[in-house]
Amino acid sequence: MKILSIGNSFSRDAHRYIHALARKNGAELETVNLYVADASLDTHIRNYYADRRVYFYDFNGVETDFCVTLNEALSADEYDIVTVQQLSRKSLGTDSFSPSLERLLEIVELYQPRAKIYLHQGWEYSPDSAEARAVAPRGDMYNSLDATLSAIMEKYPKISGNIPSHRAVNLAINAGVERLYRDGVHLSLGGGRYLVALVWYKSLFGAMPEKHLTALDKPIPAPDLQKIILCAQNA
């Protein structure tokens, strides 16, 4: 299976461990993440038409200094799944998705007519962070995200699957998982990133992995590991 993600730092978080996790469980998976910091759907459309070589090419969860255009990445290989996503702070209502999402879906279909398109659902910011307070009252960011992303899935039948990272993160917050974020927005290098890797694994392969990774960039506190696994499964 080959996956291309048109994303930003959230897809970079999600990609860090999914290749290694699939490999440990005997699954063939090749991943490419196109990283532009803070990229929205509008950003991707502007980059495409300007043919800007600004996407860092992350391969199998490893960051590189190699940059490509969106056109080049979509033309380079044949993918089974292409994921798209919107910034979380712009996902608190459906207005910011149109017309950029429609155009991006058309672009993906032009280059990758056989690929399934999945929506990667970005998560809420840390509830106690300044970033979260700036975009929504306490506790409301998740509810707005969930409602918006559900509406987008219903509105766009071309999107054939979803990866509910936002639900797993919310469940982990409620379960009291420690060190879930590394700042107010991005997930921790250990538990946070591993949580979304598990969500991706189940979304792609239909079941939770039987074997888990032990070598992560940061260790997961023992009390949190089972919570993380359960939150990913329930998401």
The pLDDT assigned to 47 comes to 98
Predicted confidence (pLDDT) per residue in 33-52, tens digit: 999 999 999 999 999 999 99
Contact criterion met (CB below 8 Å) for 119 and 159: yes
The pLDDT assigned to 185 comes to 96
The pLDDT assigned to 167 comes to 97
- Rounded to two decimals, the pTM is 0.96
Question: In this structure, how many other beta carbons lie within 10 angstroms of the beta carbon of residue 155?
Answer: 14
**Separation of alpha carbons 125 and 133, rounded Å:** 9
| Among 127, 36, 16, 151, residue whose Cα is nearest residue 87 | 36
Burial of 199 (0-12, 13-18, 19+ CB in 10 A): buried
The pLDDT assigned to 221 comes to 86
Segments of the chain scoring below 70 in pLDDT = none
Question: In this structure, how many other beta carbons lie within 10 angstroms of the beta carbon of residue 232?
Answer: 27
The pLDDT assigned to 65 comes to 94
Number of H helices, E strands in the chain: 10, 7
**Separation of alpha carbons 122 and 7, rounded Å:** 10
User: Of 3.30.1330.200, 3.20.20.30, 3.10.50.40, 3.40.50.1110, which CATH number belongs to 2-234?
Assistant: 3.40.50.1110
**179: DSSP letter:** S
HSE-up of residue 41 (Cα within 13 Å, Cβ side): 27
Report the DSSP beta bridge partners of residue 116.
81
Domain boundaries, the chain: 2-234
